[in-house]
Amino acid sequence: MLKGSLKTGLSFGLTSGIITTLGLMVGLHSGTHSKLVVAGGIITIAVADAFSDALGMHVSQESENQHSAREIWEATVATFLAKFVFALTFLVPILLLPIATAIVAGIIWGLLLLGLLSFSMAKEQQVSPWGVIAEHLVIALVVIAATHYLGHWVQVAFSGA
């Protein structure tokens, strides 16, 4: 069983890594259909957003004034590593598959990871996993749909610019 600070950082980093990377991938793909752009976006978000989320976790934990310096740094590092590593896993299908297939594979991978995390959380909290899983997957699907349509809008709006 993980310590509270590590669990906080890992669950936040994993969730954020999945949702932001899926949104970025889908939006960039629908706007450009470029493997290079999507891969570059994934690498960029893995680095920049992992640092951003880690700092956000650090400041949030400090502001609560309830955690030791060690707990704060454990949550910070766990957030960074989870976000960085899980965001980079989305590169695998991009590198190995045609871009349209890779986007679908990435969506399946992300939803599977999110479902497993949700199931684990629900079991630990001793609540029905199906409601937790459904809630988290619906949010992810809303992000995927919104970024897909936003990517199309950007492509249309800026194609003549």
Predicted confidence (pLDDT) per residue in 132-159, tens digit: 999 999 999 999 999 999 999 999 999 8
Q: Is the pLDDT of residue 107 over 80?
A: yes
Number of domains the chain is built from? 1
Domain limits for position 13: 4-158
Say how far apart CA 73 and CA 90 lie, in whole Å.
Answer: 26
Say how far apart CA 158 and CA 114 lie, in whole Å.
Answer: 33
Highest mean pLDDT among 39-43, 63-67, 118-122: 39-43
Mean pLDDT of 58-69: 90
25: three-class secondary structure by DSSP: helix
Q: DSSP state, 90?
A: T
* pTM, rounded to two decimals: 0.91
Tell me: the pLDDT tens digits for 84-95? 999 999 999 999
Q: Alpha carbon of 54 to those of 84, 101, 147: distances in Å?
A: 10, 31, 24
